[in-house]
Amino acid sequence: MKCRQCGHEDADAASNCRICGAALADAGDIEIDNGFARNRFAPPVFASRGGTDGDAGLVTKEEAWAAVIGDARRPYYMERFRRLSGGGSAAWHWPAMLFTFSWMLYRKMWLGALVYAFAPPLALTLALAVAPSIVLRLLLLVLWLAAAFIVPAVMANRWYYGHCWNRIAAVRARGGSRTQMLAQLQSAGGTSKLFLIGAALIVVALVVLGAASTTAFEMYEARTKMQAAIQFGNDVAAAVNARYEATQALPARDDFDQIVSGVPNPPRAVRHVSIDGAKRIITITVEAKPAVVGTLTLTAETDDNRHLYWTCSTVDLKRYAPSNCR
């Protein structure tokens, strides 16, 4: 390998010149064609194929990185790229964790931003659609939120490293002078103000997601209260059945109140329980959620053996009641 500084021929595996100590080119450096004919998109900078001294040699790997990264946070990314180039870890990336979509737009990662905008919401929608229960849906939502924040934080520097190398490879394929190639890298890389649009979209998405999460939690809480109230009603009905088996009559109001007080663990959502012996109806007043109060009705019927069985129904709490109590 020939030293660019003094011209000495060094071993191919050497990293520095044995004579002058200058750094030798490595696999990441970009070879320069001092002519201008290969790049028809960039303006010519030579009057002849000879070129100028400023366009001689190679665009080194670090020069290419610096050009494609741009001025914004260049030292940070240069350090991460050196680490990744040597097989090290990518490190945590806070902006990508908190503002993934905006960060991708800011760093001109257009395809990544497009995929991130549609793939995670679509995956969450499909997962919630097939989840059989509210608990599983909430668990999937928590896992999705964790993945949506943690994966970008862990992978962002690696993603950006690969993105920059793709830009460098594209410029290398087009060729050109040193000046042209650095100019192309600066144009292809750097940052974009489109991240402001991404930031606005993130705010809107967070508002919508927060509202949806609040609604989902309130629905889960209301349905949980309904389940507890129905179970309590079934326990009361079972105690009434025991009295009916002994007397062949439903209990009077005072006796019924005593039966209700003897049923353990009454839910806080149950406001009041009453019985109408003539209609064979037990009415349970339930507070499903703040400002949402309704009633469950247990209606008794007698089978051929004169045993009671109860049917649950509701008119004003159907939204929160299970399918067997509507």
Residue 197 domain-assigned (yes or no): no
List of long-range contacts for 125-132, beta carbons under 8 Å, 24+ apart: none
User: What six digits make up the tokens of 145?
Assistant: 């939120």
**Residue 90: phi, psi to the nearest 5?**
-90, -20
Quick one: 171 and 123 in the same domain? yes
d(CA 326, CA 311): 10
Residues 176, 112 share a domain: yes
**Same domain for 181 and 306?**
no
Are 78 and 121 in the same domain? yes
Residues 5 and 62 in one domain: no
Verify that 96 and 162 share a domain, yes or no.
yes
Which residues are CB-contacts of 198 (< 8 A; sequence separation ≥ 6)? 99, 101, 102, 103, 104, 105, 106, 113
31: in domain: no
Q: How high is the pLDDT of residue 186?
A: 93
Same domain, 146 and 245: no
Domain residues for the domain of 10 are 1-26
CB 289 within 8 A of CB 281: no
The contacts of residue 93 (CB under 8 Å, 6+ apart) are 103, 152, 153, 154, 156, 157
Domain-ending residue, one of 141, 174, 192? 192
Answer yes or no: is 170 within a domain: yes
Q: Are residues 265 and 183 in the same domain?
A: no
The pairing of strands 308-314 and 292-302 is: antiparallel
Backbone angles phi, psi at 38, to 5 degrees: -70, -25
**Residue 129 backbone phi and psi in degrees, to 5:** -70, -35
- Together in a domain, 15 and 68: no
Cα dihedral angle (243, 247, 251, 255), rounded to 10 degrees? -70
Q: Which residues contact 191 (CB under 8 A, 6 or more apart)?
A: 70, 72, 106, 107, 108
Task: Return the pLDDT at 292.
Answer: 77
Q: How far is CA 290 from CA 106, 218, 230, 269, 325, in A?
A: 44, 10, 18, 10, 21
At 121, the amino acid letter reads: P
Beta-carbon neighbour count of residue 159 at 10 Å?
18
Q: Are residues 103 and 67 in the same domain?
A: yes
- Selection from 135, 115, 137, 139 nearest residue 126 by Cα: 137
CA distance 248 to 244: 5
pLDDT in tens, the chain (326 residues): 667 666 667 776 666 676 566 677 665 565 554 443 334 333 333 223 333 444 545 789 999 999 999 999 999 999 999 999 999 988 999 999 988 988 999 999 999 998 988 898 888 888 888 888 888 888 998 999 999 999 999 999 999 999 999 999 999 898 888 889 999 999 999 999 887 877 787 778 778 877 887 888 888 888 888 999 999 999 999 999 999 988 888 998 889 999 999 999 899 999 999 999 889 999 999 987 776 789 999 999 988 888 898 999 999 888 888 888 87
Residue 232 lies in a domain: yes
- For residues 93 and 284, give the distance between their C-alpha atoms in angstroms, rounded to a whole number: 54
Q: For residues 83 and 16, state if they share a domain.
A: no
Tally of domains within the chain = 3
Best CA proximity match to 152, nearest among 108, 213, 91: 91
Q: In CATH, what number is assigned to the domain containing residue 316? A: 3.30.700.10
Please state, in angstroms and as integers, the Cα–Cα distance from residue 47 to each residue in 36, 58, 250, following that order.
Answer: 9, 20, 109
Contact 55, 32 (CB under 8 A): yes
Query: Would 42 be classed as within a structural domain?
Result: no
Largest Cα–Cα distance in the chain?
A: 116
Residue 117 covered by a domain = yes
- The answer to whether residue 43 is domain-embedded is no
The whole model's pTM is what? 0.53
pLDDT at 239: 93
The token pair that represents 58 in the structure block: 């190679």
Any domain includes 269: yes
Look at residues 279, 288, 275 and name the one whose alpha carbon lies nearest to residue 325: 288
Contact status, residue 149 vs residue 97, Cβ threshold 8 Å = yes
Same domain, residue pair 185 and 304:
no
Single-letter amino acid, residue 208:
V
